[in-house]
Amino acid sequence: MGLCSMTGYGQGQAGDELVVRVEMRSVNHRYTDFAIRLPREYAFLEETIRSVLSANVQRGRVEVLVTIEDFREDPRTVKIDWGLLHGYDESISSITKRLGLEPTNRVDYLLTLPGVLQPMAIDDGEQAFLEGLVGEAANAAARALVDMRQAEGQRLTVVLNQYLDDLDRGLGEIATLAKTLPLEYRERLEKRISDLVGDIQVDPNRLITEIAILADRSSIDEELVRLDSHIVEFRSALMEDEPVGRKLDFLLQEMNREVNTIGSKTTHVSIAKWVVEAKSTIEKLREQIQNVE
């Protein structure tokens, strides 16, 4: 499966006469966050949807919209509160009479007043039937969502590997250059000493010792090895069949740390230039993985 993005969309539908539609939209988020919108009378369906989401999404914010349409010949009806309806009607008649207004046909208006129309209670059989339909529609939506997230993850993988290739190429060049640094340090040190003392003889053993100390302090071999190891681990993580966003973020922190250390240990022009480029590439990698599950 490989890398999975946190951005995606999925839609599912179930039922013939009683139709349930579920839409899911996901975006990047530091944690797992589900926002489910349901009509109040169907609030009991939330747990079914949440269970489906938990089985398919490990990270990201997912917004879910559920719509239910009843096309049955004998649909679930609403209950009319006749007492409340008559009360509203009498109050409106009193207001009309007192203010001297012309009477109007107000049936449509009365039906919109709070509490007049109430949905009939859903019995256990109807509830179980709805839960089954919602589960079917939600699973279909989740599969479509995951498919889109995986497709986006594959595109991200290509981009990330291109950036890693850039790092690898530069790393190979710097590793080759690093092998020549001790000789370069020696030549620079000898020239500096010659400029300072002229023809005065310098103890060669002392010179070798100073060169060794300087080379050791300026050695970047360990940092290069660790950086290469982090790149290999990063590539491996891209192929894992589980959420790796946090792992990739940690690896980038370590890669950045090694590059900073290399930059602080040597002032070689070519290495300093590569350090700037490497930090820029790592930042591009960091921007991309913000959307990785």
Q: What is the pLDDT along the chain (293 residues), one digit of tens a residue?
A: 678 999 999 999 999 888 999 999 999 998 999 999 998 888 999 999 999 999 999 999 999 999 988 887 665 656 677 788 788 888 888 888 888 877 676 777 777 778 776 665 677 788 899 999 999 999 999 999 999 999 999 999 999 999 999 999 999 888 888 877 766 666 666 666 666 666 666 666 666 666 666 666 667 888 999 999 999 999 999 999 889 999 999 999 999 999 999 988 877 888 889 999 999 999 999 999 999 99
Residue 210 backbone dihedrals phi, psi, to 5 degrees: -65, -40
Q: How far apart are CA 40 and CA 78, in angstroms?
A: 14
The one-letter code for the residue type at 202 is V
Could you tell me the two tokens for 130? 């709805």
Is there a contact between 241 and 4 (Cβ–Cβ < 8 Å)? Answer: no
Is there a contact between 153 and 6 (Cβ–Cβ < 8 Å)? Answer: no
Q: How far apart are CA 71 and CA 151, in angstroms?
A: 36
Q: Residue 6, Cβ neighbours under 10 Å: how many?
A: 23
pLDDT for residue 217: 66
SS3 199: coil
The H-assigned helical ranges of 198-244 are 204-218, 221-237
Q: Residue 156, Cβ neighbours under 10 Å: how many?
A: 20
**3.10.50, 2.60.120, 1.25.40, 3.30.230: CATH of 8-75+122-151:** 3.30.230
Model pTM?
A: 0.71
pLDDT for residue 25: 97
DSSP 40: G
Domain ranges of the chain: 8-75+122-151, 78-117, 153-289
Residues 6+ apart with CB under 8 A from 150: 1, 2, 4, 5
